[in-house]
Amino acid sequence: MFSFVVRRLMVAVPTLLILVILSFVLMYAAPGGPFNSERPLPPEVLANIQAKYGLDQPFWKRITDYIWGVVAHFDFGPSFKFKDRSVNDIIAQGFPVTLTYGFWSFVLATVVGVTLGTAAAIKQNSWLDYLAVGFSVGAQVLPNFVMAPILLLVFTLWLGWLPGGGWNGGEWPYLIMPVIALSTSYMASIARIMRSSMLEVLNTNFIRTAQAKGIPMRRVILRHAMKPAILPLLSYLGPAFVGMITGSVVIDAFFSTGGIGTFFVNSAFSRDYSVMMGITILVGTLTILFNLVVDILYAWIDPKIRY
Amino acid sequence: MTFRSTLMATTAAVFTVLGGAAFADAHATHPVTGEILAADQTFTYRTLDESPSIDPGVVEDSDGGDIVRDLFEGLMNQDADGNIVPGVAESYEVSDDLLTYTFTLRDAKWSNGDPVLASDFVYAWRRAASPELASPYSWFLELMAVENVSEVIAGDMPTDALGISAPDDHTVVVKITQPLPYFPQMLTHYTTFPVPEKVVEELGAEWTKPGNMVSNGAYVLTEHVPQEKLVRERNPMYWDNENTIIEKVTSLVINDEDTALTRYLAGELDRTDIPAGQFPALQAEYPEDVMSVPNACSYYYTINLTDTTNPALLDVNVREALSLAVDRDIIVHNVLAGGQKPAYTFTHWATAGFETPETPMVSMTQAERNEKAVELMEAAGYGSDNPLSLELIYNSSSAHESIAVAVSQMWKQTLGVETTLGNEEWQVFLETRGNQDYQIARGAWCADYNEASTFLDLMQSESGYNDAKYVNAEYDALMAEAKTSDNPQVQYTAAEQLIAQDVPIIPIYHYAADKMLRHNVKGWPYNNFQQNWYARDLYIVAD
């Protein structure tokens, strides 16, 4: 197991490097640049800006300087758009926000999704099952950019219970709507995956044996069925977790949470190269890390899997 | 005055003052209008996005400008009508050749109590022009024609060669290289605001953070969470603090305008933008809150006049026909429906001192325009048997798309022109248009200062913003002449007539700013063409 983790971590380094180089090349290959606007800058002004941000250097120097800065100093460079701030500043401020609402969304989505999926599988073809399936289909087709304005309308405008946006250091009234809006579609997927895998497990011989032995249903589910049923879900949860904690532009845009989701998308539109790279590396690293975590969990849950 | 009457007058005055003071505690009133003020003088408004910077030397967007105007104060300010009024400068004198301006500063203070010195202005301007700061707005100092500015920006001269000096602590002298009638007007622009030399030198880029920032405006920065909010509160050191009423100003970044409207309706905001198409409905429901005022921008289609264009567009008859066939009234009233005005000139109708000239098109009805357009197209050799095909590009946005679809239908119905519409992502679009890799493209221009040349300079042959690549020596001569003219309106009229005659661009409409502004917020500068507002001029009356 230990050597497996070491091996995986060693593969992660070249994977990240390829990610960085590919993103860097693609980014600079895209037309336009961070300093283009409706009003083009005079050449002498543009020259100063390009010199300041190192854009007057040859491409190979830019990319090697960048990678060296990241590796040696953990410095992701200055933002090209937000002139008073560095990429480190932006991530340091935005990531904790995203991590907070992403984490709670994950918890909510997993707890509700797993419960709902399991209940539906146990009571297959009952009203509970139909309700659960109906809910997941509904939640799946109701994307968060539809969900968010509806929540706002109901809880802020009509009922006046919750503030319409902002973060305020993550106080709970500010957290509720982002968490609900972000978690529903994940919740639906989790419920669906859980339901089908639980159904499959419940029809296997070892469960039938357990039931035949007279073990109470509750115990059969929790003790015997849960572990194998959760395996297919695990491979979904890894990327889903990364997806949630690295933010959603929809949540950030609708609820003004100040997370990194908007920074990521806007940096692509405004060609803010350094912010785009910084967040790409962050998301890439987290994806690799959590895929590894999922693999380790697999081995822990399923004794058949050995590395 | 007898002793008795003096005594009575004094008693009356004492009672008035005491009564006034007691009354002020319960319900303060506005010192000029006498309106009863609300107890909570907090103004909260929406901005679309986080501003790239709030450093006066670097700030580049209008939302950032609104913030900087509250935090800092330059030599001149604007009043509610956009006229210049003294700021840090109490007065100024101009030399006979109109090239040297001498400003006398008042006793103003920075928020840390230090005096605002003439040298702070000198430092700020040199800093804004310096290659080290690499400010994206250093070109504004070039627009102001400050002596040696281009050389300083290019790094060919040291920053102390810049045409600004401080003979003593209360005097700033600026030298410019050509007479500019609107020069004092330009001093209300944030790039010219002072920065505290000591603080900036000590803290570097960190100086704009709350707690670090020292400013000389009516407000100081107290909180800033990027992409969420920025809070500024009254600055007790401000020279005119006693006349400031609003205590606290908060700008909230809300990317989605429908969300912002919901939050406005829920009472969380005092001001927000009206989403496209919702103006008529909101006006019917909230007539006291809806405002629509001229906004200093013009929307137009630019026609590529280089050899990479569609050859048909090099024929002026075709260009004029295309312009005539655009029914601006439909665009303004049916597509946009937000208080915009049809444009037949490039310069916005509300620009100070500008009288919209009578171009032939203005006095015609749309039916007459269409008739003439058909004639012109026929003269150019196009008709139903030989239809013209064109390409029109715009940057991806539903509003631009609606207009492009409407215009292409007008061209199709009136002239039989087949238009292929293309939308491009913003950065790609800028590159395509800047490289003249198009036939007809959307364009918009916003005034940098309130004078017609801010628009008309754009069409000069050498202008970097002239995407049509319109070249006309007569036009260039007119614009040069206007700089020293006693009545530049003459040249501006002639310039607009040249544009109408040569049609390098098709003006479509002049912008309006559509906002929801809470009805109890007073003092808004509705007549300020650039919509430059100062929170210290606002106040909130009790409901």
Going through chain A in order, the beta strands assigned E by DSSP cover none
Average pLDDT score over chain B: 91
pLDDT class of B398 with cuts at 50, 70, 90: confident
For residue B138, the chain A residue with the least C-alpha distance is A45
* Residue A163 near chain B (CB below 8 Å): yes
Does the pLDDT value for residue B5 go beyond 60? no
DSSP 3-state assignment of B93? Answer: strand
Count how many residues are written for chain B: 543
Take residue B15 and report the two structure tokens written for it.
């009672």
Class of domain B294-513: alpha beta
pLDDT class of A161 with cuts at 50, 70, 90: very high
How far lies B498's CA from each of A196, B11, B504, in Å?
73, 71, 10
Tell me the mean pLDDT in the region B416-428.
92
Does the pLDDT value for residue B54 go beyond 50? yes
How high is the pLDDT of residue B533? Answer: 95
Closest CA to B69 of B185, B184, B190: B190
Tell me the mean pLDDT in the region B51-65.
92
Report the alpha-carbon distance of residue B542 to residue B528 in Å, rounded. 25
* Residue A154 near chain B (CB below 8 Å): no
Residue A39 to chain B, least CA–CA distance (Å): 6
How high is the pLDDT of residue B486? Answer: 83
* Residue A150 near chain B (CB below 8 Å): no
In this structure, the number of other CB atoms found within 10 A of the CB of residue A160 comes to 11
Report the alpha-carbon distance of residue B435 to residue B427 in Å, rounded. 12
* Range name among B16-30, B97-111, B315-329, B461-475 with the lowest pLDDT average: B16-30
Task: Encode pLDDT of B356-391 as tens digits.
Answer: 888 889 999 999 999 999 999 999 999 888 899 999
* Residue A100 near chain B (CB below 8 Å): no
Tell me the mean pLDDT in the region B67-94.
95
pLDDT class of A5 with cuts at 50, 70, 90: confident
How high is the pLDDT of residue A141? Answer: 85
Count Cβ neighbours within 10 Å for each residue of B509-538 and write b for 16 or more, e otherwise.
bbbbbbbbbbebbbbbbeebbbbbbbbbbb
Interface confidence (ipTM) of the complex: 0.87
Q: Domains of chain A, with CATH numbers? A: 93-269 (1.10.3720.10)
How high is the pLDDT of residue A12? Answer: 87
As annotated, the residues of chain B forming the CATH 3.10.105.10 domain(s) are 294-513
Query: In A, which residues are within 8 Å of B52 by CB distance?
Result: 81-83
Report the alpha-carbon distance of residue B132 to residue B122 in Å, rounded. 16
Contact B252 A256 (CB under 8 A): yes
How far lies B426's CA from each of A4, A299, A307, B399, in Å?
46, 48, 49, 14
How high is the pLDDT of residue A181? Answer: 93
* Residue A164 near chain B (CB below 8 Å): yes
How high is the pLDDT of residue B492? Answer: 95
Does the pLDDT value for residue B20 go beyond 60? no
Report the alpha-carbon distance of residue B42 to residue B289 in Å, rounded. 17
For residue B463, the chain A residue with the least C-alpha distance is A42
How high is the pLDDT of residue B402? Answer: 93
How high is the pLDDT of residue B15? Answer: 44
In this structure, the number of other CB atoms found within 10 A of the CB of residue B381 comes to 12
Please tell me the CATH superfamily of domain B9-249+518-540, with its number.
Dipeptide-binding Protein; Domain 1 (3.90.76.10)
Report the alpha-carbon distance of residue B379 to residue B373 in Å, rounded. 10
How many residue contacts between A and B have a Cβ separation below 8 Å?
143
As annotated, the residues of chain B forming the CATH 3.90.76.10 domain(s) are 9-249+518-540
Report the alpha-carbon distance of residue B219 to residue B111 in Å, rounded. 9
**CA B403, chain centre distance (Å):** 23
* Residue B266 near chain A (CB below 8 Å): yes
* Residue B275 near chain A (CB below 8 Å): no
CB B393, CB B440: distance < 8 Å: yes
Tell me the mean pLDDT in the region B386-398.
92
Contact B131 A257 (CB under 8 A): no
Does the pLDDT value for residue B502 go beyond 80? yes
pLDDT class of B17 with cuts at 50, 70, 90: very low
Q: Indicate the burial class of B142 (C-beta count within 10 angstroms; 0-12, 13-18, 19 or more).
A: middle
H-state helical runs in A30-168: 43-52, 59-73, 87-122, 127-141, 144-151
Residue A31 to chain B, least CA–CA distance (Å): 5
For residue B142, the chain A residue with the least C-alpha distance is A42
Does the pLDDT value for residue B13 go beyond 80? no
